[in-house]
Amino acid sequence: MRNLIRATAIGAAVALIVAASAVARPETVRLGTLVFRGDGGVFPAKLPKHRQAPIGGWVKVRLGTIDGSHPPAVQRAIIDFDRAFQVNAKGLPVCKEVRLVALSTPLARRACRGSIVGSGEGEVEVAFADQRPFSATGPITLFNGGVHGGTTLLLTHAYVAVPTPTAVITTTKITRVPRGRFGLHTVTEIPEIAGGAGSVTGFRFKIKRTFNYKGKMSSFITASCPTGLFFVRARVQFTGETMMKLGNAIPCTSRD
């Protein structure tokens, strides 16, 4: 049972993966006793001013409390990205969720090798009332889930193999919604972890994928740099009606 909880906790942890992209530079945000520490960015930082170019992103995040107490669980992450960002999955192989069920990480990656867009590691802390808290960690893999009615799906697979192999899959929805300086909207719902006893405490990942479509090179994520800054904002909802708001400006350099 404890190992099953570990696997479930890891799967939920990576569902928060998109929220970490709101980090532009090393930063610490506090809300009551809750502390968010993160670092991240895009590469390359030098981009065309008026046309889209392939990019990748990386993120490293820690969540905890200033007094060492068990942090509240994350329930939902809503992120708005700068309108200069675009997600393009057209022509990229699609992975269906049913193909990943009950597979280990190596087997999942083999089953949908062509759909992989990123990878990393997640960590969760589980604290039951009758025992000391314990941490669960495991590999995560991001897959292109395809485009459906204007929504791009991002499938996240997590796996723990001790003692019984267990795979957990979460889904993030990405849509193009013009909102002033923002244009890319993402929503991730995080399921309850270990009956409410588990909380995300950290994760790191890189996301980047280029592919050939109709004889031309394409990229899962592209961007231009018209103003020298990418604006990102996030709302992360925790249990107990706690809401943490994050916002930042990621610097970029125009090359034309």
pTM of the entire structure? Answer: 0.84
Q: How confident is the model at residue 160 (pLDDT cuts 50, 70, 90)?
A: low
Q: Give the HSE-up count for residue 214: Cα atoms under 13 Å, Cβ half-sphere.
A: 2
Query: Do β-strands 166-179 and 46-47 pair in parallel, antiparallel, or remain unpaired?
Result: unpaired
CA-wise closest residue to 95 among 133, 48, 144: 144
Mind listing the pLDDT tens digit for each residue in 34-57?
998 888 889 999 999 999 999 999
Mind listing the pLDDT tens digit for each residue in 65-113?
999 999 998 888 899 999 999 999 999 999 999 999 888 899 999 999 9
Q: What's the average model confidence in pLDDT over 115-119? A: 97
Q: Percentage of the chain with pLDDT > 90?
A: 46
DSSP structure class, residue 230: E
Q: What pLDDT sits at residue 182?
A: 95
* Token pair of 131 as six digits: 């025992």
Q: Mean pLDDT over all residues of the chain?
A: 84
Q: What pLDDT sits at residue 218?
A: 94
Q: Where do the structural domains in the chain lie, given as residue ranges? A: 2-254
Mind listing the pLDDT tens digit for each residue in 204-230?
899 999 999 999 999 999 999 999 999
The per-residue DSSP string of 115-172 comes to: GEEEEEEEEEEE--TTS--EEEEEEEEEEEEEEETTEEEEEEEEEE-SSS-EEEEEEE
